[in-house]
Each structure stands twice: as structure tokens, then as C-alpha cells.
Amino acid sequence: MSKSKEQKEQARVEYPTTSASFNIPTQQGMVTAIDAFCEKHSMGESTFSKRLNGDPNFMREMRGGRDLRLSMVHKIFKFMKSYGAVR
């Protein structure tokens, strides 16, 4: 069974060619978002770091250029979203 031309056009996916098209935050964007979160919840960055992943130096290292995997970016946003929901 062959797909019609219209079905093929609907199924075709256009993939973004830049990270901006995906809305992936920059390193500085992540630091800014975390700083805003910590300020909103009166939380120090080492407390944030410990609650996020048990590493009190996480934010200091991130400010120093520590690279983040996409899975960590997801974990950070998931933590901030769930923290806001339970407070």
C-alpha cells in the first residue's frame, strides 16, 4: 500500500538546524535560571546543588565552565518545576 503525496508531505519532518531552534539554554542561561530560582525560594546555591544531585560544588563548577549534558539540563528543570509545586 503506497502513501499518497499528501500523506508523505504531512509525515515529512523539518529538523531545526541550530540549537536556538530547539530552545536549548546556554550555560549562562542555565546559571541565570538557577539564580532566579534560588532567589525566589530563598535557597543558597550549595543547598540547591545538594538537593539537585548531592554535589554541593555543582553550581560553583558550573559557573567555572562545567559542561552540562542534556540529561542534567532536564534534571535541573524537572527539579525546579517539582520544587515549586510542593512549596
Whole-number pLDDT of residue 25:
82
Is 7 a domain residue? no
Q: How far apart are CA 62 and CA 82, in angstroms?
A: 22
- The domain in which residue 67 lies consists of 24-86
Is 4 a domain residue? no
Would you list the DSSP string of 6-50? HHHHHH--PPPSSHHHHTPPPHHHHHHHHHHHHHHTT--HHHHHH
User: pLDDT tier at 26 (50, 70, 90 boundaries)?
Assistant: confident
Full-model pTM: 0.69
Is 12 a domain residue? no
Q: How far apart are CA 68 and CA 46, in angstroms?
A: 17
Does the pLDDT value for residue 46 go beyond 80?
Answer: yes
- The amino acid at residue 60 is R
User: pLDDT tier at 87 (50, 70, 90 boundaries)?
Assistant: low
CATH assignment of the domain containing 75: 1.10.260
Q: What is the mean pLDDT of the chain?
A: 81
Q: How far apart are CA 10 and CA 79, in angstroms?
A: 36
Is 11 a domain residue? no
Number of domains in the chain: 1
